[in-house]
Copies of this chain bind each other. A is one copy, B any other.
Amino acid sequence: MMEKKIHEECGVFGVFSPRSCDVASLVYYGLFALQHRGQESAGIVVNEDGVFSWHKDVGLVNAVFDQQKLESLGMGSMAIGHVRYGTTGAGGRANAQPIVINHLKGGLAVAHNGNLTNSYDLRFALEEQGSIFHSTSDTEVIAYVITKERLKTGSIEDAVSAAMNSIQGAYSLVIMSPSKIIAARDPHGFRPLCYGMTEDGTYVVASESCALDAVGAVKVREIEPGEILVFTKDGIVSRTEHCKKVRKSFCVFEYLYFSRPDSEIDGCSVHDARRRAGSFLAESFPIDADIVMGVPDSGLDAALGYSQRSGIPYGIGLIKSKYVGRTFISPTQKTRESLVRLKLNVIPSVVKGKKVILVDDSIVRGTTIGRIVRILRDGGAKEVHVLSSAPAFKNPCYYGVDIDSREKLIACKYSVDEIARIIGADSLGFLPVEQAKRLSGTDGADFCLACFDGAYPTEIPKNLGKSCFERKISENPKFQKKDE
């Protein structure tokens, strides 16, 4: 798709090396490979013999870090990093991660992907004890809870273990203490987290396996839901005893949209899952067409899957500009219409006089797909049939995905036929939820599909009505205001 329609918060990355070396660069490359998970801010913390050096700022990885900035972080044997999606504005830099704090027992750096469902309650309880908060992010709450537990326990991993009894919701964490790297994943395993090893014995933790590939590490395995993995100079220790067993609920949208096609999760590559989605679409929506095309880039895999299953030829008919990025000057409303083809252009010779099947990764508001349908018709397409490789969005997500508010979700307001008419398509189909469950090639009982079917795997936040799509109070820009 042209613009990210749906946002997730964050990619995390960590390195534990047997020797002091340029760990900052390893994290830099790792974050680079995870850039698709968050374009708002980036940060790296290096640990050299217990002393932390860090830099973080709003911007893409290669904008936040230049050679000089990387070098200023120095050598070290450990480092963690983070890329973040988030709101812009005054709070942007304050919420950049990893957060770095000091507590009684030493320094602590935390990088977090996910969203707590009880952060408001935890924060309120901490504030009642006199705690102060510098940001509005869940991650500071996590740091606090760990710090409180640390006073009562004998090690940082004990503190993390104890903290996991308090914090609820989605979290894939990479934590750095003066002498350890700790990876931890919530019991439902909403967000991905895996680790690997390079040839020279450096351990690498990452949100996705593509980041392991990027630094030449070989994947060992996923961090299991509820698992705590501790990397020290004495080796790796896995802790799982603390963890209540619950049903795994991996976010299906990681397969459909967030993760990179070359990442592999739980034994299934994201590319294969997407192709399977296309294959399911071909079974559910057999269409008499001449060609099947994907909306670049994330619709291509599913389009190929549809083509392979149906036998309808796969085509390349839409070209996306490689250079459209954040700093691009937006056209004014007046010129916007004529400039649609600046970002995405059609190859008329491919679609002219053809019945076209167009596969996109999802449909949120419907405006973008509507424009693309028009571009295809301008290019001479005789028919345009639109298929979404994700089911229709109908519910909010409490686990770290920033879906539009309900009044903007087209599927909350219109029937499928109405939507087809609105976007100008000859027909429209969404991937059935039942098929989404089988995306990874197994029966799929371990997916969270709440945004599609409303079946939330956890208690949902009291303070937030189930049907409301507003952002959590803790992220409210007016948070500072209170009576005195």
Contact = CB atoms under 8 A, between A and B. Distances in A.
Interface residues of A, number: 111
Given A89-B72, A314-B304, A481-B50, A130 B101 contact: no
Most buried by B among A55, A147, A264, A338: A338
A129 B261 CA distance: 47
B316 A308 contact: no
Contacts of A134: 99-102, 134
Contacts of A132: 101-103, 108, 131, 143-144, 147
Contacts of A329: 25, 28, 62, 65-67, 70
A106 B60 contact: no
A345 B272 contact: no
A353 interface: no
Contacts of A151: 128, 130
A342 B214 contact: yes
Most buried by B among A313, A314, A323, A479: A323
Given A70-B329, A132-B144, A322 B347 contact: no
Interface string A299-333: 01100100010000111100101111101110100
Contact of A103 (B102, B104, B130, B148): B130
B62 A178 contact: no
Contacts of A253: none
A213 B338 CA distance: 9
Contacts of A130: 103-104, 129, 131, 144, 147-148, 151
Interface string A106-134: 11100000000000000010011111111
A268 B348 CA distance: 10
Contacts of A448: none
Contacts of A337: 216
A316 B300 contact: yes
A31 to B, nearest CB: 10
A455 interface: no
A468 interface: no
A463 to B, nearest CB: 16
Interface in A69-116: 70, 72-73, 89-90, 94, 99-108
Contacts of A262: 319, 345-347
A188 interface: no
Interface string A265-281: 00011011000000000
A444 to B, nearest CB: 18
B105 A482 contact: yes
Given A147-B130, A262-B346, A484-B177, A215 B339 contact: yes
A132 B143 CA distance: 8
Given A329-B62, A481-B50, A131 B128 contact: no
Interface of A: 25, 28-29, 32-33, 35-36, 49-55, 60-63, 65-67, 70, 72-73, 89-90, 94, 99-108, 124, 127-134, 136, 143-144, 147-148, 151, 155-156, 177-180, 198, 210, 213-216, 260-262, 264, 268-269, 271-272, 297, 300-301, 304, 308, 313-316, 319, 321-325, 327-329, 331, 335, 337-339, 341-342, 345-350, 477-484
16 contacts: A25-B329, A25-B331, A35-B321, A51-B478, A54-B90, A62-B328, A103-B131, A107-B479, A107-B480, A107-B481, A129-B130, A131-B131, A210-B319, A269-B349, A308-B313, A322-B322
